[in-house]
Amino acid sequence: MKSAIFKLLLPLAVATALPASAKLAAWYPLDESSSSAATAVVENVAANDAAMIGSDPTPNSDFNFVERGYPSATLALGTSYRFDKGGALDLGTNAAVQPTDQFTISFFTQLGTVNAFDRYFESQSTNTNDQDGLRIDTGGQGDRVRVLVRDNSGVNSQLTHPTALLTDGSWYFVAFRYDSANADGNAFQITVLKVDGSTIDEAAIAAATSKAATINTGAIGFPHAFQTLIGTEIPEGLANGLNGAIDEVAFFDNSDDNGVLTDAQLAANASFGPSGVQLITGFSTDRQSVSPGNPATFSWTITDPYDTLVLDDGNGNVTDLAPLTSAGSGSTMVSPTETTTYYLKGTNGDVENTHAIKILSGAAPEISTFTSSAPILQVDENVVLTWNVIGADTITLDPGATDVSALTTTNVILTGTTTFTLTATNGFGSTTADVTVTAISGPLPNHRYIAATDGNSEAAWADEVDIKNLNVIGLLRNAPLLIASPNTNIAAAYQAEGGDVGATVGAYQNADATFEIWLRPSALTAAHQVVFETGGGQNGLGVLITQDALRFIGSAKNTRTLDVVLPLDGVNLDDFIQVVFSVSSDNDTFEASVRDTYGKVVTASATADVIFGGNGATLFFFGSGGIGGSNVNLGGRTEVPDAEPAILESFVGEIGILNTFSRLLTTEEITAAFEAVATITSPPSGGPNAVTAISYNGVSEITLTWNSKSGENYDAEFSPDLENWFPIGDPVEATEASTTKTFNIPANRPQFFLRIIEVPAP
């Protein structure tokens, strides 16, 4: 349906309309059905139809990366397009899709996976500022909305919205408003609003909008440097391709006057689509699963006046519903012979609304979504389970075989790691879906990488929280471990034997952040091996290890601002060690600790200005070093040519766990994270001071046997937290190669730590 400049009088039920000067220049509803034979992507205003990238209509093709007819954010928005990486849209170079100034671009999106700088929108080529165009991408973190504007002046304007987009099926309304001549702080505005059923009004839009304090650019030259693409960086669809869904792509532009929508107008857009008007006020069915002789009945309501009202089955069959509508309401029956999505389309002048409902024909129910409020929670926390089911007579939830037929969400107390199963049943069969929620006893990470988790491979290390997966290059995944870890529950690790290998991911950019790594080195020398880095040489952090120490380097604005050495003297590296470091960009503080599983703890702290930049993060080596170029630009190294240390090597050894936290952990939380991994079920059997036997009466008396050297003196020390140590007796002089001694300790402690240390003679 074609439409043009808005100039309508709105019905009383509608509170907002676009001003006469605003123009909906281009609108892609993306409502084409998956069964439609037409391949064009219809544009509603300027007749600038788009072409699909990565779409092969051949049934079951391995090269079809575009799914049409995918459920949208709401039924009132019809359906959407979903892209796997490789699928996208080419909108061409029409002025309607390449605005220059005083414009608004809006769309709805649902992220499937998190990847740095994946494209929602692209009309730039390469990364030079000497070009014109727009880029809207997922930012360095991979789960944001970042807008980058270039006007061929050698500079750019950009802003990243702080909202982290979830990958649990959630939809978001996104809008970018640009007016280079605006002097009141509204020149550059990004709106990101989760569509969750809440009322979307002017206040909601205002609260969801971030603004750039200043901009460096003016009007964008036309044409832009590149054709306009949705969902990819290049026409082949493979570079920085989006994995997710897009809907209702709209361009509001009138560079002679004002194409920047108000908050109220954006609210109407987010609620009813780019028309900004609710014309169809209801569309429902009495059943979503049918069989011969058992048709479904559609009912609808529409606001008078309207011009047209039709029912389209996506296969070229269109029914005029105006004769079946009286006083704004009507109904009709359908009996599809195959599963069909029906589109109810109403128009009034320039206004168009499309609603969609899928009807199953002779088929078991569909579970379109079954999600949890979080993939990982602490034990005894509340998890919210939510689902969307089509065509079910009954729905049950396990464990417990609970009847949830009348619900779409429920709350469950998580007593342990649990796999929940949803079963939807009708007369044609049953469909099930699972979601697993992990329960942990320590602090909750915002990214969690456990090498032992099923599904990891020598190509990818999965993020168990936010799908910010690590791309693995040349590492071995030892599952199980080649050499067992006697004092931890680590069962697998990624191992490097040296060379240009590692694991890369988008940048971690929290202002306050804590990182936890469990590693076991195997070939330390005086050279600096790179364990981890993130952020960039201009603004970033690197973690290095030598035979003597861990070294933490950080930079801000191309200047080395952090250089902390944590000695490894006395740290037992026979088993995995826990390395924890935290940075507060707000408070300019840095803290680090290393703990082995034999009782040694070393800590360090510093005051330092450390900022995470936009470059990615890497385990085992510098991302721009052996994995792709010069090694002077990432992870605190700085871009100064003679930055020290001069020689960097790949970490040789194993990393079993990487956790990141979007806040600073307390000492107690670090201890809890340690205890979640360190089992210490059996003491080491060899080596000086090694405890070889323990006998505890369960109250206040413990007997220790340890390896000793005749004539040497030893202290037994007690700690409640691995931080503070207290002698529990007088020094003991050994007379043999093994010494046994009984000590009194504080009574009735639920947990504690003991160690034997060699001391000078009294």
- CATH class of residue range 24-272: mainly beta
Distance CA 728, CA 708 (A): 18
Backbone φ and ψ of 488, nearest 5°: -140, 170
Name the residue with tokens 């709209």: 250
CA 621 to chain CA mean position, Å: 23
Identity of the residue numbered 313: D
Backbone φ and ψ of 5, nearest 5°: -65, 140
Distance CA 61, CA 435 (A): 28
Which tokens sit at 35?
Answer: 């069964």
- The pLDDT assigned to 546 comes to 96
Query: Would you give the DSSP letter of residue 574?
Result: S
Name the residue with tokens 């046994």: 740
Distance CA 577, CA 520 (A): 6
Distance CA 444, CA 465 (A): 9
Which tokens sit at 64?
Answer: 């079809």
Burial of 12 (0-12, 13-18, 19+ CB in 10 A): exposed
Distance CA 515, CA 579 (A): 8
Distance CA 311, CA 289 (A): 18
Name the helix (H) or strand (E) containing 60: none
Q: List Cβ neighbours of 28 (8 Å cut-off, separation of 6 or more).
A: 41, 42, 43, 44, 50, 89, 91, 230, 248, 249, 250
Distance CA 529, CA 524 (A): 8
Residue 726 and residue 698 in contact, taking contact as beta carbons nearer than 8 Å: no
- The pLDDT assigned to 295 comes to 94
- The pLDDT assigned to 4 comes to 29
Which tokens sit at 585?
Answer: 């960009």
β 409-413/340-348 pair status = unpaired
Which tokens sit at 658?
Answer: 């990487």
Dihedral-angle region of residue 204 (phi above 0 means left; psi in -120 to 50 means alpha; beta otherwise): alpha
Name the residue with tokens 């413990």: 702
Rg (CA), the chain: 31
In what order do the strands lie in the sheet containing 409-413? Answer: 366-372, 382-390, 409-413
CATH of domain 447-675: 2.60.120.200
Which tokens sit at 478?
Answer: 């030892």
- The pLDDT assigned to 761 comes to 79
- The pLDDT assigned to 629 comes to 44
Distance CA 453, CA 472 (A): 15
Domain 372-440 has CATH 3.40.1000: no
CA 633 to chain CA mean position, Å: 25
Tell me: cis bond preceding 645? Omega within 30 of 0 counts: yes
- The pLDDT assigned to 238 comes to 80
Kindly tell me the number of DSSP H helices and DSSP E strands found in the chain: 3, 56
- The pLDDT assigned to 724 comes to 80
Write down the pTM of the prediction.
Answer: 0.71
The alpha-helical segments, DSSP class H, found in 453-498 are: none
Name the helix (H) or strand (E) containing 294: none
DSSP 371-429: EES-SEEETT-EEEEEEEEES-SEEEEETTTEE-TT-SEEEEE-SS-EEEEEEEEETTE
> Across 38-77, where does the E strand assignment appear?
51-53, 66-71
- The pLDDT assigned to 14 comes to 36
- The pLDDT assigned to 630 comes to 46
Report mean pLDDT in 10-residue bins for the chain, 762 residues. Answer: 29 38 86 82 94 81 85 94 94 96 96 88 94 94 92 95 89 97 92 94 97 95 97 88 96 76 94 94 94 92 96 93 97 94 94 95 92 88 92 95 94 93 95 93 91 92 86 93 91 92 84 95 93 87 95 90 93 94 91 92 91 83 54 67 79 97 94 88 54 78 84 86 83 87 81 82 76
Name the residue with tokens 């385990």: 619
- The pLDDT assigned to 21 comes to 46
Which tokens sit at 265?
Answer: 């107008």
- The pLDDT assigned to 12 comes to 31
- The pLDDT assigned to 671 comes to 92
Residue 1 and residue 312 in contact, taking contact as beta carbons nearer than 8 Å: no
Distance CA 753, CA 755 (A): 7
**End-to-end Cα separation, the chain, in angstroms:** 95
β 648-650/528-535 pair status = parallel
- The pLDDT assigned to 689 comes to 66
Domain topology for 284-361: Immunoglobulin-like (2.60.40)
Q: What is the pLDDT of residues 576-599, one digit of tens each?
A: 999 999 999 888 999 999 999 988
